[in-house]
Amino acid sequence: MTPFLAEIIGTAILVLLGDGVVANVVLNKTKGNDGGWIVITFGWGLAVFAAVFIVGPISGAHLNPAVTLGLALAGGFSWDLVPGYIAAQMIGAFLGAFLVWLHYYPHFAVTKDKADKLAVFCTAPAIRTSWWNLVSEFLGTFVLVFGVLHISSPDVGLGALDALPVGLLVLVIGLGLGGSTGYAINPARDLGPRIAHALLPIAGKGDSDWSYAWIPVLGPILGGLAAAGVYGLLV
């Protein structure tokens, strides 16, 4: 398997399981309906663990353009490979979202709330205020990329076990910082499924909230680059 294909598969698994747990909680007549925020954050943390564990030995399991850019800026990844990795992550995120829609197809039909249907695919703020929403995404991604740079450093040397601390890191970001915007902390994870929401024939869907879509893209990119810059000053 090539790293490009691994990033597609890994990001698809990430979104399938992560958006899948959201679907299980918010869509009507599922076994997990109304499971709540704790279920969603634990589900996303375990989704990250599973995806990183599966494809980490092949591609490094970036699964996130902010991570890819941060690693490149920190000198741990070739800039020449960045466009291909980001393209693979976007393809994988779209594919994962498609599979969630396929899996929960009957439940979309019996769910009336358009916002709940959109929430399966992408994030939205609890209080809509662009500047503070951007700050939230910046801070969450800063913590993620700063942590990933430390976890993946040769001095730490966890190897295949990198997946566990990365999953736990995403879990605590969701618990501690996720309540304001839903913690996209990953441009592909938000934008790929948002495009899927726009294109798929989802029963009774509303719009894809494109006026907000730039925040979970720009905020994570800036946060990841800032984390790489700070990390570079400290090591």
Task: Report pLDDT digits (tens) over 109-136.
Answer: 999 999 999 999 999 999 999 999 999 9
Contact partners, residue 97, CB within 8 Å, separation at least 6: 15, 19, 121, 192, 193, 196, 197
Domain ranges of the chain: 3-234
Percent over 90 (pLDDT), the chain: 93
Contact partners, residue 133, CB within 8 Å, separation at least 6: 125, 180, 181, 212, 215, 219
15 has a pLDDT exceeding 60: yes
pLDDT at 103: 98
d(CA 228, CA 195): 28
pLDDT at 235: 84
pLDDT digits (tens, 9 = 90+) for 137-195: 999 999 999 999 998 876 655 454 578 999 999 999 999 999 999 999 999 999 999 99
d(CA 216, CA 122): 9
Average pLDDT over residues 48-52: 96
3-class SS string, 203-214: CCCCCCCCCCCC
CA distance to 19, 142, 186, per residue, from 224 (Å): 22, 5, 9
pLDDT at 66: 98
pLDDT at 144: 97
Average pLDDT over residues 31-59: 96
pLDDT at 153: 78
pLDDT at 225: 98
The secondary structure of 15-78 as a DSSP string is: HHHHHHHHHHHHSTT-TTTT--HHHHHHHHHHHHHHHHHHHHHHH----SHHHHHHHHHTTSS-
pLDDT at 159: 52
In degrees and rounded to multiples of 5, residue 162 shows phi and psi of -55, -30
Average pLDDT over residues 57-72: 96
d(CA 194, CA 197): 5
Exposure b/e, 152-186, CB count within 10 A at least 16 = b: beeeeeeeeebbebbbbbbbebbeebbebbbbbbb
What radius of gyration, in Å, describes the C-alpha atoms of the chain? 17
Of the CATH numbers 3.40.50.300, 1.20.1080.10, 3.30.420.280, 3.40.50.720, which one belongs to the domain with range 3-234? 1.20.1080.10
pLDDT at 155: 67
Q: From the centroid of its chain, how far is CA 125?
A: 15
Q: With CA atoms as reference, report the closest residue to 67 among 172, 210, 166.
A: 166
Q: Supply the mean pLDDT for the chain.
A: 95
pLDDT at 156: 57
pLDDT digits (tens, 9 = 90+) for 192-224: 999 999 999 999 999 999 999 999 999 999 999
39 has a pLDDT exceeding 70: yes
